[in-house]
Each structure stands twice: as C-alpha cells, then as structure tokens.
Amino acid sequence: MITNFKGKTAVLTGAGSGFGLECARIGAARGMNLVLVDVQQEALDKAEAEMKAAGAKVLARRVDVSDAAQMEALAAEVKATFGAPHFVFNNAGVGAGGLVWENSVADWQWVLGVNLWGVIHGVRLFTPMMLEAAKADPSFEGHIVNTASMAGLLTPPNMGIYNVSKHAVVSLTETLYQDLALVSDQISASVLCPFFVATGISHSERNRPAHLAAQPLTASQKIGQAMTDKAVGSGKVTAPDVAQKVFDAIAANQFYIYSHPHALGSVQVRLEDVVQGRNPTDPFAHKPELGASLKASLRGAAAS
C-alpha cells in the first residue's frame, strides 16, 4: 500500500494528452516530481508549463517510445536528474483498425512499436533501476502501471492490430507482477484496461512517423474509425475519472484497473469460451443491430 506520493518521482509516457496528462495533473497536485514524455512537442510544452505552474519539478522530453536508443537516453537522464523513479506510467498508445489482413507492415510496425515496444522499453529500463533503489533503501516503494485496454481482454472484430498489441501488454504486465513478487516486496505493478474513453487516441494518426506512413484507408478501416469515434464520443467516463482510479489502485495495490467494470461480462463470456473449448461467442450478441450494421457495411464495401 502506497499512501505518500509527495516528493516521489513519476515517469509518464503519453503525458501530453489523455490518461498521461491527467495522471500528471494528479501527481503535480500531490507534490511529485514529473518526467513528462510525449512525441508531440506542442502538447508536451503545454503540459510542462502547466505542471511547473502547479509547483512540480519537471523534466520534459520529446521521445518516440518505440525507439530503444531514445528511451535509453531518457532513462539515463531520469536517473541523473531524480534518481530511480518510484512510479512509471507506460501509457503512450496509438489506435488503428480495419480487417486484420488489410493492415500493412508499416501499420503493424507503428502500432506494435508504440503500444508494445514502448511498454517493453519502459519495463526493461526502469524496473532494474527501481529494484536497485529498493535494495539500497528498505523504505523505497515503487509501482509500474502499464496501459492496455479492454481490447487486451477481448477480441473485438475489425481492430485486430490494436487487440494484438493490447493482449501483449496484459500478458507482459501479468508476468511483470509475478516476476516482481519473486524478487521484491517493495515494487509492484498494475495494468490499466480502459474501455471507450475520450483521450485523443482515436486520432493518433497525427503522430505517425513519416517512415511508417499510412496507405490510403481501406473501406474497413474507415468503417472502424467511424465506429470508434462514435463509441468514444458517447462515453460517459472521462480521462480524469480514469486517472483517479489509477492512483486509487496504486494506493490499494490493485492489479487490474477498469474504467467500465460492466464490460467484464463480455470478458467472462470470452474466458468461458476458452475454458469450455467452444467457438468464440458473437461479440455483438448483446447488441445484434450493431453487428448486423457492421456486417452489412463491410459486405457492401467488399461488393462495391
């Protein structure tokens, strides 16, 4: 149980918007040192100015989390500036959809680069630093929060590339939790699995690097984008709500963090499919009109 955050250091990737920014705001209010990381310079500058105005000590760096060398340079600078961080929020993420065979190699490299490799780099670089600090100081407490998604526990159709990246983050974080428990009682981990929350991720193409440029969107990708925009736009849970849940979970040493616990019914159905060896249940069984609409759109697009 971690209750005192004052003077502790947090590394936050994706800190310029969404959950990263909201967690940074809570961190600033609690008197934490903040390492703000984002790929979008303008958003990063605004976040840095806001956190400094709130009285926080801030190190802000523009970093592509998928790039090993950039993340290694960041980790070295964090250690030199603040020492080992107490908290790491591996939060940076991008979204992409469409029928899974329509994604290009560049699509896979971009989404897995940010959503999975970004988390891998955060874990491999900061965990040893935190363990070293814990060994040297019996009072050191640390926690790593990796942002996955309900798509890491479900397999919604027409967004396979995103599902793959987020399932990997869930698996990585569950294993991290078990591995940490073997070697230390001072550091633990949580996985954040949000459902549809307005964070800006549905328009993450704006941050896509030129060398992984997108081809024109396929019909299925356009349909997927429209559905995501609608779902995110109609969401009632806000990014600040989710950030508060994250801090509550750290304080309670709670592993799974959900923005929409009601969505767990679908997770239960999926796991029962697995245990019983039955074919995957129709993900739209509870909203058949949505499934019929998606099927008609995709078949219509294929026929045209």
Nearest-5° Cα angle at 116, 75 to 291: 150
Rounded to whole angstroms, the Cα distance separating 291 from 134 reads 50
162 is catalytic: yes
Could you say which of 162, 177, 256, 258 is catalytic? 162
Active-site amino acid positions: 162
